[in-house]
Amino acid sequence: MIVEASAPGKVILFGEHSVVYKGSAIVLAINKRARVFAEKRNDDRIFMDSEDLGYSGFFIGDEYHPVKGAPWRGRSLTAVNLVSRKTMEKLGVQSGLNLKLRSEIPSAVGLGSSAAICVATAAAIDGLFEGKLSREEICALAYEGEKVIHGRPSGVDNNVSTFGGVLKYEGGVGFEKIILDESPCFVIGNTKQKRSTGRMVQIVSELRQRNQSIVDEIIETLGSISETGLSYLLKHDYKHLGELMDICHGLLTSLGVSTPMLDKLVHASRESGAMGAKLTGAGGGGCMIALVDEERMAAVEEAIRIAGGSPMRVDVSYEGVKTRRVD
C-alpha cells in the first residue's frame, strides 16, 4: 500500500521581521503543494527519493547514506527523518519506509517548502499505519522537523501548511484563523536567490542595536500595517491593500532586508499594472509578491520574467494537509 499526503506552501502578506518584536503577521496558504508518498519496507531503513532535486539516499538511525548526489545532501533530509521516526513513535509502530518527496514549492526562498514537506511526511505516515492523528498532532510533529531546520521557528509555516487558509499570528498570543469570502489574486516573483532567515533576522537585530529608537518606530509602523492590511483584505479593498504593500516594502528595505533583485521585480510588477508589490518572507533573496487584477496577470508575469525573475500565479488555498491511498 502507498499513501500520498500533500500540504500547501505559504506567503507572508504582512508582518515580516516586525512580528519578531511586536505585532502580528498575516500569512496565506497558497495553491502550490508538496507531496510525500509513503510505503512500508521490510527493513529498518528510511529511504528518501528526492530525485527531482537530484538526490536520494537512506537513513539508518540518524546516519545518512547517499545513493544519488553528494553526502552533504543528507542535511536537508534530516528533518524528514526526524519527523518520520517521531510519527512512528507517536503511533507506536516500528518499520522502515520508502518516502518519495515531490514539491511544486521552490525551496529556500521563503515559501514554506520545508514545512509543507514535514507536514505531508507526518500525514502520509499516519495514513500508512491508519493512525488517525488529529491535524493538531500532525502540526506538532512537523514543528519538530522545522526546529531542525530553523532552530527556533515561530510555528507559522507548519500551522498554515497544516490548516490552510489565512492565519494571523502574534507572538505570545498565538494563531487566529481568518475567513475570507473572496480571495485576491497574486503573482509571486522568485529571484532564484536562496537566503537564510536567521541571517536576515540577525541583520535587523544588529541595526536595531545601533539605532533602536528609529528601528522601533519602523517596527511599530509595520505592526500597524498588518492590522490595517487585514481590515482591507476582509473588506476586499484591494486598492488600499496594494498601497500598504508598497509602503511595507519600503519599510522593509529601510531595515536592510531587500536586495537589488527583489527591488527590480517589485518595481517591474508595479510598472506593469500590479496594485501593489513587496518582498515576502525574510528577504535577502527569495521571493516578492504582487497583488494583481485578473486582466493584468499575464503582463505582470512577463514583466517579472523580463526582469530576471521566475513568475508564478497563486491563489489562497483553503485546503490544508490531505491524504489519500494510492493503489
d(CA 203, CA 311): 27
Which residues, including other chains, have CB under 8 Å from residue 253's CB and lie 6 or more apart? Answer: 263
> Catalytic residue among 43, 157, 216, 237, which?
157
157 is catalytic: yes
For 135-143, the CB contacts below 8 A with 24+ separation are 135/162, 135/163, 135/320, 135/321, 137/90, 138/162, 138/321, 139/163, 141/83, 141/86, 141/87, 141/90, 142/83, 142/115, 142/118, 143/118
From the CB of residue 124, how many other CB atoms can be counted at a distance below 10 Å? 30
Q: Could you identify the residue written with the cell 531546520?
A: 149
Distance separating alpha carbons of residues 108 and 191, to the nearest angstrom: 11
| Cβ atoms < 10 Å from Cβ of 139 | 25
Nearest to 13 by CA among 263, 201, 217, 188: 188
Distance CA 189, CA 269 (A): 9
Q: Which residues are catalytic?
A: 157
